[in-house]
Amino acid sequence: MTQVLLFACGYRGYVSWEPTGGVSVNSQRLPVTGKVVDGEVLLPVRAVAKAAGYDVNWVPGQGAVVVSQPGGGLVFSVLPGQDMAYTATGETGLSNA
């Protein structure tokens, strides 16, 4: 099992991934799976963020997925296929698009 800090900029616990594809957030199993591409574990952002208690929205015209704290501000947004995420404090690199 691989376990990492979930959204370090707005700590909400841990996300776990099993080699069989299973994904859990704070020990709660999700009905989605992750996968390995070129040695990197890829997880479905929307499902993981929602399980952690964030709101997830698609921004028309920008194609950006925006994750915001309920009733609060931006945690991050990311464009599909890009290796950068944008936070309230600036850009941050991602290990994979």
Q: Smallest Cα–Cα separation from 96: which of 32, 28, 45, 27?
A: 45
Element (H, E) at 77: strand 74-78
Q: Smallest Cα–Cα separation from 87: which of 57, 70, 71, 67?
A: 67
Residue 92 or 6, more confident? 92
Could you state, in order of their start, the residue ranges of all structural domains in the chain?
Answer: 2-93
| pLDDT of the residue at 22 | 94
CA 34 to centroid of chain Cα atoms: 11
pLDDT mean over 2-20: 71
Sole residue written with tokens 């963020």: 49
d(CA 97, CA 84): 8
pLDDT digits 0-9 by tens, 32-66: 999 888 888 888 888 988 898 888 888 876 667 77
pTM of the model: 0.76
